[in-house]
Amino acid sequence: MLAVLSPGQGSQKPGFLTPWLDLPDAEARLRWWSALAGVDLVHLGTQADAEEIKDTARTQPLLVAAALLAAEHLPMHDVGVTAGHSVGELGAAALAGVLTAETAITLAGVRGREMAAACALEPTGMAAVLGGDADEVLAAIEAHGLHPANRNGAGQVVAAGPGDRLEKLVANPPTRARVTMLKVAGAFHTPYMAPAERALATVAAGITTADPKRILLSNLDGTAVTHGREMLQRLVRQVTAPVRWDLCIRTLADLGVTAIIELAPAGTLTNLIKRELKATGVPELVTLNTPDDLPAARDLIARHGKPASHRPTTQYRVVVASSAGSFEPAEGLNEGDPVRAGQIVGQVVSRHGAAEVAAHDGGVLTEWLAHPNAPVAPGQPLARIGGHI
């Protein structure tokens, strides 16, 4: 199975879109998307300097546009999984069919402007905490009155909040950890972004969505989201909620993903995956930064993607655990059995009791992803259900 990833803020580089404008219709597409986003994407991607593209209001639509522009040159019908980091989720949602490209670009423009406005309300920022014991790092962040805005895996947590509190964390890092201030405008993915979340929710209320055509992972908890309206709600909520990229990486591994393409501007997410999964096995990776990388990306899809077929496409939906505990499959339910929407497929048992796990949609139980009585974490895939679309 192959996944395509859409990067988030911080991955941009001056001039990174320049080679893409040599492709047919690329500039025209960016001009159209610029009208929707309210910023000049051609200028930002080709001529703007690092300071200009650091502006949140400009960066967010630029990154979504770049990912979608690159993906237009790939056989996406053979891709099994999509995911994005932070604003990259808008690109991933469009690639999964939940949003149109135009809707994703428009939302990115609104999101960027409103988050930039929220940053201006009070001085806040972010700092990367690298290394150290995970529990100790989170405890230190909380002790300083900060928020863990990004949990990226590979020993990387991003703390966010008022600047003076961040400075104290830098001066007193957790044991065996180092803390580095980030050049960002404010405390993204924290309650400080509440005004932006409210503004984005107002716009999102008028959007029509579709259910995903492929597995689509959410930053909120790493789970596969099966309903378009739910994904849109999560996209809005993510403005103030932490990015759990560590859980997304875990789900990619649990799904058995064997190859990954990171869309332009690529490198940040694949580096995190290489560090996080080095002990258990890293999927084959391609970073798609220029059109020169397209042949390698297409070859990866040909070798790891779903085989092309004129028969009805099987759409897989993943049932996930809502809490931690041990998983007990429903008695008598086996791989290959039909499953109806709402049917209980098992339960997660913890010291607090048993939580039933239901299938959101009907289909066929194609594979158990967790062994009976095995410990599971919140958001961990338990079963894969296939159906024809």
> What CATH code is carried by the domain that includes residue 160?
3.30.70.250
pLDDT of residue 332: 94
Range of the domain at 177: 119-181
Both 76 and 125 in one domain: the answer is no
Three-class SS state of 362: coil
Both 92 and 216 in one domain: the answer is yes
**Which of 181, 209, 232 marks a domain boundary?**
181
Both 229 and 88 in one domain: the answer is yes
Query: In degrees rounded to 5, what are phi and psi of residue 294?
Result: -60, -45
74 alpha carbon, distance to own chain's centre: 19
Both 360 and 216 in one domain: the answer is no
Both 239 and 289 in one domain: the answer is yes
Could you say which of 85, 147, 189, 304 is catalytic? 189
Contact in structure between 196 and 205 (CB atoms under 8 Å) = no
pLDDT > 90? residue 342: no
Task: Tell me what the mean pLDDT of segment 63-91 comes to.
Answer: 97
pLDDT > 50? residue 308: no
Give me 57's structure tokens.
């209001």
Contact in structure between 182 and 225 (CB atoms under 8 Å) = no
Give the CATH number for residue 214.
3.40.366.10
Q: Is 86 a catalytic residue?
A: yes
Both 196 and 241 in one domain: the answer is yes
Could you say which of 86, 144, 147, 304 is catalytic? 86
Both 35 and 107 in one domain: the answer is yes
pLDDT in tens, 99-158: 999 999 999 999 999 999 999 999 999 999 999 999 999 999 999 999 999 999 989 999
309 lies in a domain? no
Both 298 and 323 in one domain: the answer is no
Both 13 and 87 in one domain: the answer is yes
371 lies in a domain? yes
Task: Tell me what the mean pLDDT of segment 8-14 comes to.
Answer: 94
H or E element, residue 273? helix 268-276
Q: Which residue has the higher pLDDT, 366 or 314?
A: 366
pLDDT of residue 363: 86
Asked which of 134-143, 175-184, 303-312 is least confident by mean pLDDT, the reply is 303-312
Both 33 and 106 in one domain: the answer is yes
186 lies in a domain? no
| Distance in angstroms (rounded) separating the CA atoms of residues 64 and 95 | 11
What is the domain count for the chain? 3
Both 217 and 342 in one domain: the answer is no
H or E element, residue 89? helix 88-95
pLDDT > 80? residue 388: no
Both 263 and 330 in one domain: the answer is no
355 alpha carbon, distance to own chain's centre: 27
**Which of 266, 283, 304 marks a domain boundary?**
304
Give the CATH number for residue 382.
2.40.50.100
Cβ partners under 8 Å of residue 20, min gap 6: 26, 45, 66, 69, 70, 264, 290, 291
**Which of 255, 283, 304 marks a domain boundary?**
304
